[in-house]
């Protein structure tokens, strides 16, 4: 589903990624761990086409993404990559349903199709009674599940999550982790998750351990 070949990236004189090779098959949950500054977020941002590498090759669903022009790459990103961050980044003036629909509207889906799928997803995530709530009216765990529904709306090739449970209490963290495994098992969803949670990482299909811009293990 995702192939990275010899990805390098520097910021000024600091080489943050020193030649990353990685293949992630469909339906697997990979975790990325390692000390702060190892390059985890930079790698995830390149996988998500939010940042371009200095050299190297990235394919997602057999598409060489960095050979696309900016406009096509933005459309590809909106369709094929679902992001979940530590903070939910929901738009405060919109309801849960409207927030979930945004990537579908950008992908030019009809209102009917977008809202139908968004409602199905919210129901699957146990949020059927929160459809018309705004982010301020939701708990932290609920907001993060709305963000997951938004990430799933276009049936993306991959969910990329950067410390998605970093801001949650123990119960909500465990629920979110269970949800990620459920997405893998029920929908064959591919997920790549940067985490500091070693227990969670141990349950994933593979642990990518980074250090100083390399995959150490
Ligand atoms: P991690 O996620 O493993 O903590 P990051 O990928 O965030 O690591 O950062 C790796 C290194 O790159 C750090 O030293 C960080 O300060 C540096 N870095 C990340 N983004 C930028 C940027 N936009 N400009 C300059 N330096 C950056």
Task: Look at residue 168 in the predicted model and tell me its pLDDT.
Answer: 85
- The candidate with the shortest Cα–Cα distance to 150, out of 195, 207, 88, 203, is 88
- CA-nearest residue for atom 22, ligand 1, is 11
Confidence of residue 217 (pLDDT cuts 50, 70, 90): confident
What distance in Å separates the CA atoms of residue 20 and residue 15, rounded to the nearest whole number?
A: 12
> Residue 165's domain spans which residues?
2-215
Q: For the whole model, what pTM was predicted?
A: 0.94
Report the number of distinct structural domains present in the chain. 1
Q: Does the pLDDT at position 49 exceed 90?
A: yes
| CB atoms near residue 139 (< 10 Å) | 12
Element (H or E) spanning 11, and its range?
Answer: strand 2-11
Q: Does the pLDDT at position 88 exceed 90?
A: no
Angle at which helix 170-187 crosses helix 140-152, to 10 degrees, equals 20
Q: Does the pLDDT at position 67 exceed 90?
A: yes
Q: What is the pLDDT of residues 101-160, one digit of tens each?
A: 999 999 999 999 999 999 999 999 999 999 999 999 999 999 999 999 999 999 999 999
Rg (CA), the chain: 17
ipTM: 0.96
- Helix %, strand %, coil % of the chain (to 5): 40, 25, 35
- Alpha helices per DSSP H over 107-139: 111-124
Q: Which atom of ligand 1 is nearest to the CA of 213?
A: 10
How many Å lie between the centroid of ligand 1 and the Cα of residue 186?
34
Our mutation pick for probing the ligand 1 site, out of 10, 36, 37, counting the most ligand atoms within 8 A of Cβ, is 37
Q: What is the pLDDT of residues 9-38, one digit of tens each?
A: 999 999 999 999 999 999 999 999 999 999
What distance in Å separates the CA atoms of residue 78 and residue 161, rounded to the nearest whole number?
A: 15
The CATH number linked to 21 is 3.40.50.300
């Amino acid at each position: 589903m995702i192939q990275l070949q010899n990805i390098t990236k520097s910021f000024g004189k600091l080489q943050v990624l020193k030649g990353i090779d990685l293949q992630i098959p469909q339906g697997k949950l990979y975790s990325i761990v390692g000390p702060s500054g190892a390059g985890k977020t930079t790698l995830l941002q390149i996988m998500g086409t939010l940042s371009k590498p200095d050299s190297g090759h990235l394919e997602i669903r057999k598409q060489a993404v960095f050979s696309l022009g900016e406009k096509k790459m933005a459309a590809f990103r909106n369709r094929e990559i679902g992001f979940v961050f530590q903070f939910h980044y929901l738009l405060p003036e919109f309801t849960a349903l409207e927030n979930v629909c945004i990537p579908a509207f950008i992908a030019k889906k009809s209102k009917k199709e977008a809202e139908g799928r968004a409602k199905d997803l919210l129901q699957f995530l146990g949020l059927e009674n929160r459809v018309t709530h705004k982010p301020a009216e939701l708990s932290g765990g609920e907001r993060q599940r709305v963000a997951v529904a938004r990430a799933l709306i276009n049936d993306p090739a991959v969910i990329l999550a950067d410390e998605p449970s970093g801001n949650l209490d123990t119960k909500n963290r465990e629920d979110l982790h269970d949800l990620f495994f459920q997405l893998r098992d029920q929908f064959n969803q591919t997920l790549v998750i940067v985490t500091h949670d070693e227990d969670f990482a141990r349950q994933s299909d593979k642990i990518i351990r980074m250090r100083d811009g390399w995959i150490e293990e």
